[in-house]
Amino acid sequence: MNNKRRVVITGLGMATCLGTDVEENWQKALAGISGIKKLSLPDAEKSPVQAVGSVSSTDMGRIENELGEDAAREGENRTLYALWSAGKALENASLMQYDGNRNRFGVVLAAGLGINRLEDIQRWCGKENDFDLERFGREIADVHQESLMRNNANRPAALIARKFGLNGYNATITTACASASQAIGTGYRTICRNDADIIVAGGADSMINPVGLVFFVLLSAAAVSGNNPSEVCRPFDRKRSGLVMGEGAGVVILEEESHARRRGARIYAEVAGYGSSMDSYKVTAPHPKGVGAESSMFRALKDARMEPDNIDYINAHGTSTKLNDAAETLAIKNLFKEHGRNLSISSSKALIGHLLAASGGPEFIFTTLAVNRDKIHPTINLNNPDPKCDLDYVPNKSISRTVRAAISNSFGFGGQNGSLVVKKYTAQASG
């Protein structure tokens, strides 16, 4: 795509454990405030996982109240976070009352796995613990509202399109923890190749349920510490012990530059490049030399026609696991060489937890705001530097510096990787 169209960011919307307003999330992130708290599910004391980044009951009430009938009809939090964030992003972009050609407006959304409810399996098991298919067929209407059986992965993207009249390109991305970044990258390329003028892109996820929590314990990836919940997630710290699960959504409005300028839109920044790769190593571990991560960032820079020394900031995948943080650090060193020492790097997951398929959404928003405002939120809880992680991770206190361009990284289970380059917007012709 030698003559690819320029893509800018004109709207932001999100819901995390820090709040349901973008500015609230940003100010708390800059202040180094963690939204991670003690698990409060029924019988939570029996769970090996005690720290989670849950959307508060107050914020959930706000979402349900504003969504009204949508909230009453839908049974899955993931879908509500997606609808809320998409709506707020469209409002932020001044697109709610904008007519335009709705056939050129689309959705690319990441969505994680639906909720597997043990009750929906046990309920239709016979005396010999075999599943009674005939009775299940007769009683399928009794399946719980939030069950996977009623909430396919594409449901949030479809509902966003229907609710807001986005009749063009529509896709759902489910590639583990790289999903939202790959969704934003796919949306960006859809506009670049002239298949859309506006794409609502990002991700939503929620796995804070018994099956979801135990999944990462069985993978030996979850932190099971009983310490102060806000201190459990410690990316790049020598005492890090695993990821802390979060939930929520992050959605952005991607728009073709001339389309945005014609309607007088506020432009936060430009999406300059996207790269993806596959480790082809192990399902549950990144390549120890960071080969896939390095390739993903390299391809994003190549797509942006930028050099490594054009980058000032990286919003790292930074999961707080022993393997990821060391591999990501090595990938950065291998690609950026000596310039790696000049980079500012931080992990949003210490603040909001790991939002799994949605993680790249809020992190991309934080990256966009860093470029737009020349401020970088800290990596909190980094008190014991790991010799294997020896770059500048902006420990514990935010900084101000010029951010000409930044990379947002997402690296998922199974080896899926996605990297996005965001740069300051200038109205001059690219080239």
- Element (H or E) spanning 132, and its range? none
Model pLDDT, residue 430:
44
Residue 129 placed within a domain: no
CB distance 44 to 50 below 8 Å: yes
**Residue partners of 9: CB distance under 8 A and separation at least 6:** 252, 253, 254, 255, 267, 268, 269, 270, 271, 368, 422
Residue 125 placed within a domain: no
Closest CA to 115 of 82, 89, 150, 80: 150
Q: What are the pLDDT tens digits along the chain (431 aa)? A: 567 899 999 999 999 999 999 999 999 999 999 999 999 988 888 899 999 999 999 999 999 999 999 999 887 899 999 999 999 999 999 999 998 999 999 999 999 877 667 777 778 887 777 888 888 888 888 887 777 777 788 999 999 999 999 999 999 999 999 999 999 999 999 999 999 999 999 999 999 988 888 878 887 888 998 789 999 999 999 999 999 999 999 999 999 999 999 999 999 999 999 999 999 998 878 999 999 999 999 999 999 999 999 999 999 999 999 999 999 999 999 999 999 999 999 999 999 999 999 999 999 999 999 999 999 999 999 999 999 999 999 999 999 999 999 999 999 988 999 999 999 999 875 44
- 130 phi and psi angles, rounded to 5 deg: -95, 150
HSE of 152, CA atoms in CB hemisphere, 13 A: 7
For the chain, the C-alpha Rg in angstroms (whole number) is: 21
Residue 128 placed within a domain: no
Helix (H, G, I), strand (E, B) or coil at 29: helix
Structure token digits, residue 371 = 């470029």
Name the residue with tokens 């001339």: 258
Following DSSP, what letter does each residue of 291-346 receive, concatenated? HHHHHHHHHHHHHHT--GGG--EEEE---S-HHHHHHHHHHHHHHHGGGGGG-EEE
Residue 156 placed within a domain: yes
Separation of alpha carbons 60 and 94, rounded Å: 24
Helix/strand/coil (H/E/C) assignment for every residue in 98-123: CCCCHHHEEEEEEECCCECCHHHHHC
Helix (H, G, I), strand (E, B) or coil at 152: coil
Residue 142 placed within a domain: no
Strand-strand pairing, 7-15 and 269-278: antiparallel
Separation of alpha carbons 363 and 377, rounded Å: 11
Report the b/e string of 3-29 with b at 16+ CB within 10 A: eeebbbbbbbbbbbbbbbebeebbebb
| Cross-strand partners of 269 | 9
Residue 143 placed within a domain: no
Residue 159 placed within a domain: yes
Report the b/e string of 66-104 with b at 16+ CB within 10 A: ebeebbeebbbbbbbbbbbbbbbbbebbebeeeeeeeeb
| Cross-strand partners of 237 | 385
Residue 36 placed within a domain: yes
HSE of 23, CA atoms in CB hemisphere, 13 A: 1
Model pLDDT, residue 248:
98
Catalytic center residues: 177, 317, 354
Question: Quick count: other Cβ atoms within 10 Å of Cβ 194?
Answer: 13
Question: Based on the structure, what is the number of domains in the chain?
Answer: 1
- Element (H or E) spanning 164, and its range? helix 155-164
**CATH number, position 316:** 3.40.47.10
Q: Which range of residues forms the domain containing residue 335?
A: 8-115+151-423
Dihedral through CA 391, CA 184, CA 83, CA 54, nearest 10?
-20
